[in-house]
Amino acid sequence: MPLGSRFRGSTRVSSWKITLPCTKAEAEAVEREESPFAAFENPPVLMSSEPDETKPDEWRLDGYFETAPTPDDIALFRTLAPSAERIEPSIEQLADEDWVTMSQQGLEPIRAGRFFVHTPAHRDAIPADAIALEIDAGRAFGTGQHETTTGCLLAMDRLKEGAISFDNILDLGTGTGLLAFAALKLWPDAKVAASDIDPVSIDVSAENAAINGIPTGTGKGEVELIVAAGMEHPRLAARAPYDLIVANILAGPLIDLAPSVAAALAPGGRLILAGLLNTQAEAVTSAYRRQGLMGSFDIVRGDWTILTMRKRKALGWQ
């Protein structure tokens, strides 16, 4: 199953493919980190996959280029798989392909609690009892395929099962907008903000909001999309305090953001933290405990831990 992709363009083109073996960690890095080709006018589609489930650390990285890759393209692609530095990449020209279809190959729908996250290719497979969200393979992280995104969906689903209600929600580091949309589906009367440091992610989120019929704006039942580097952004500060913050980022930034995130959380508010490996969970938990938060429950998905915490009511906010 491909971990992720970066996609641009939807025309039928004569394309080229570069393939290298890689480790699982390198495949996950392709999903989580910005592509080194991001500044290219026509960046390649990057797809990572696990060819043999009996060999869990032997993965494959494919790069699909619209034109014949140059030596510089090949050298840059090789930086994505340092473990294969002594292996010559496979390079082949492909027949005309539909890039949208190609980018979606192997991206199976994800069922996470009541959520069903799918690409356009699986619109006919939506279960009758599911909350369906369509997120195409694209230029931003958060298609639902990664364990951290799935874990956040499961955490929100569990909070909903506990009859917990939220009125003011923030999806910090939104990527595709998926988690913000999911939150609004669970708590349709809430005000929701979705922020990301990357303007491309906010553009992608706006596109996905339109596809899924998600109202955008600043009122109840709407999602406000904000380009913001941190909690100090005027719009994020003005909307505080939040009674639910979801942050699917990385362990390092989560630790750095602990004081400002905790300060923006309302007394008794809930916090979902993801993007951290199991080995990083203790450090992230400690950072937020020092800010007065208590652990509620954890969800472990493979190598990844999703933390759910609660702010002590006596602390107030700011």
Query: Which residues does the annotation place in the binding site for S-adenosyl-L-methionine?
Result: 149, 173, 196, 248
Distance, CA of 180 to chain centre: 11
**Kind of pairing, strands 45-49 and 59-65?**
antiparallel
Per the annotation, binding residues are 149, 173, 196, 248
Question: What is the 3-class SS of the chain, one letter each residue?
Answer: CCCCCCCCCCCEECCEEEEEEECHHHHHHHHHCCCCCCCCCCCCEEEEECCCCCCCCCEEEEEEECCCCCHHHHHHHHCCCHHHCCCCCEEEECCCEEHHHHHHCCCCCEEECCEEEECHHHHHHCCCCCEEEECCCCCCCCCCCCHHHHHHHHHHHHHHHCCCCCCEEEEECCCCCHHHHHHHHHCCCCEEEEEECCHHHHHHHHHHHHHHCCCECCCCCEEEEEECCCCCCHHHHHHCCEEEEEEECCHHHHHHHHHHHHHCEEEEEEEEEEEEEHHHHHHHHHHHHCCCEEEEEEEEECCEEEEEEEECHHHCCC
